[in-house]
Structure 1
């Protein structure tokens, strides 16, 4: 791999790591943020309010995905990457500067605004990285190289979990006064450095060299396939790796420090399995590996939800490791299919719009839905039933998805 290609891959993946760190940090810090910004006698009320703000950041993502996706298709992929890094970095740093609130009405409003702006910044980050990776990768390595988009995002989630585990080592007085701010400040500063790094990349665009295809509305079945693929991916990701740690701390009364370190190790397994899923898909077929992993997700969801509901830390940890293996192969093998569904001239828009709509419906709202299901039914495995139902629906729709393993994908034009 020559130096220009190395520079592009480093700019893509390193920026994706830190932006996922910034986005997920709020979710894994929910036990702390709920006490700071939504004080209440009811822990459930505080957590619900915290996760409602977490979900609010996704509501603006379809609009951001439409606008930035259009820019990526018609102007420059690099410009979109820079906008994403700048918005995410500024808003993350600003969250760390907010004053704690004694009621629901003060800093919570500012937190809501910042999460919405952060959602705009994240609306095209992952899709931009994924599309560029798919266009630059050689056909025989496209599954593995596109899976690095998911792996790098999961690495960002891992760093957020590790940072949270480290600040939980502080005494409560330090944690709730200044300690909680450090992860946000650090994430914001590094993300702005990613903006500078990406501004020095070659211009990545194929907009002027590829003929215009039909409009996005002409690809209804493709849009639906993309939507359901992202829906099951984002549901599993938010349920297993963002909500679960908070649930273990707040509902199962397991020690926070040990839970966060277990969560961090689980995410390390997830990073590795994402890459393995992409690697296997290059050898056994993109469609085949993804569908097998989707079937495993549907079949194992209820047993895994029962394991991760145990009051014993080690049983929960075992269940979380199994979740990481199953989810990792599904996420990693799906990455390449995202890019193969669309023609080059619609690839950014066609990826970002259904991607962000699915996240609104099944992504950041997942913790709220999970809280409701557990409280309303009293059944530990109710969240597993939710996963099984959506996975089954996705399987029916994606069974006939096309397989382009080993075929050439229209590539990005790298201009000096």
Structure 2
């Protein structure tokens, strides 16, 4: 259990810090690595690199997912942990556009592609490993911890960026201090190397033929893809883009925007864990069904209140949005794991998560920035989320029932395999 907590919690904190820090520093990256006329144009260009890094994720998911199904979940996990960590530290060492011109964004893009290839498999493989290795009565809670740990990575990144702008003025940040959040990943890499020793391989079922794997994936893919698409659109807006929305479109002071983002992240973490507990008690289907319906119903009114929010109301709104987002994503890994048989589970979870992430996770900040700037319609982000919520809602009604007996036998098999390893 200690090893499972390490793998499910600490490893993801490190990885998602490295992912989030780029998004939180996007406006600075835009000014330093691109030739831009305005801050919004620079922000859009930085989010373009962010989006391109996402597009390679399905390839990483297919490669590492296949490896996970054929030789075990542990080996690809160990590899992608390092592959996604090292590029962040290297970004902190890059020269800027003013120093080397167009070569600067080219190098930035290469590093983001390497990181995207690795991160295409990081979270789903982690979730697959935890789901299969955990005892039956702890599956829901440990899967929710996997998702909560991603937000702890966001929280760490948010805290580092908040402290950066609290201690340095913008000129100093642009001159050299912008490198600090990226170079902070160096000690995290050392922690990841130590973490890899906790990852053990356990036996997996025979992988089967390509045809049988393809048919199984085809039958099971649509419902989880639609639900994950909604969660990616929701998380891409609330976790990554809302701080920039507050700063650039609602003229909220930068420090207040980052502080309110921390409130959102804390609320999201808490409700991921609550969702895991409720999933064990009532079933993951009921939790995700109620959460998707509630978010779809309330997202437009909550965003409307952003427009004239005072300091206190802004924090309350961020807390409510964090509760909605956390309640959905807290059961996401369990939902994905229960849609696929074990012999294609690693591939299925990776592809069902990464295909929506590749096409929505990367472009969501870019689309929201461009559309809000061009139309001046400040409620566009809410209607963007609403659209995907209406697509996902029917799929939540047709999710597979939780099969406790089979889950228990699978857990026992995996636990015995882990002990032998």
Report the TM-score, using the length of structure 1 for normalisation.
Answer: 0.93
CA-to-aligned-CA distance 1:363-414 (integer Å, 9 cap, x gap): 1210111123323433222221121111111111331111216444223321
When residues 205 and 41 of structure 1 are mapped into structure 2, their CA distance, relative to the original with a 3 A threshold, is: same
When residues 202 and 356 of structure 1 are mapped into structure 2, their CA distance, relative to the original with a 3 A threshold, is: closer
Within-5 A mapping of 1:30-69: 30-69=26-65
When residues 6 and 35 of structure 1 are mapped into structure 2, their CA distance, relative to the original with a 3 A threshold, is: same
Q: Does structure 1 retain, via aligned residues, the 8 Å contact 2:263–2:318? A: no
Consecutive unaligned residues in structure 1, runs of 5 or more = none
Counterpart residue number, 1:16? 12
Give the secondary-structure state (helix, strand or coil) at the position aligned to 2:251: coil
Within-5 A mapping of 1:77-116: 77-102=73-98, 105-116=102-113
Within-5 A mapping of 1:170-181: 170-181=168-179
Counterpart residue number, 2:259? 261
When residues 40 and 310 of structure 1 are mapped into structure 2, their CA distance, relative to the original with a 3 A threshold, is: farther
1:138 aligns with 2:149: no
Selected match of 1:389 from 387, 390, 401: 387
Selected match of 2:270 from 269, 272, 276: 272
Higher helix share: 2
CA distance in 2, matches of 1:10, 1:129: 11
Within-5 A mapping of 1:199-210: 200-201=197-198, 203-207=200-204, 209-210=205-206
Consecutive unaligned residues in structure 2, runs of 5 or more = none
Counterpart residue number, 2:117? 120
CA distance in 2, matches of 1:12, 1:322: 26
Counterpart residue number, 2:182? 184
CA-to-aligned-CA distance 1:223-243 (integer Å, 9 cap, x gap): 111211211111111101110
Selected match of 1:75 from 68, 71, 86: 71
Selected match of 2:286 from 285, 288, 294: 288
Measured on the aligned residues, the alpha-carbon RMSD in Å equals 1.9
Counterpart residue number, 1:235? 233
CA distance in 2, matches of 1:309, 1:120: 38
Counterpart residue number, 1:343? 341
Q: Does structure 1 retain, via aligned residues, the 8 Å contact 2:96–2:104? A: yes
- What is the deviation of 1:64? 0.4
Report the TM-score, using the length of structure 2 for normalisation.
Answer: 0.92
- What is the deviation of 1:312? 3.9
- What is the deviation of 1:192? 4.2
CA distance in 1, matches of 2:388, 2:35: 34
- The number of equivalent residue pairs is 410
CA distance in 2, matches of 1:159, 1:57: 22
When residues 73 and 386 of structure 1 are mapped into structure 2, their CA distance, relative to the original with a 3 A threshold, is: same
Moved more, 14-23 or 395-404: 395-404
Give the secondary-structure state (helix, strand or coil) at the position aligned to 2:201: strand
Within-5 A mapping of 1:262-411: 262-310=260-308, 312-404=310-402, 406-409=404-407, 410-411=410-411
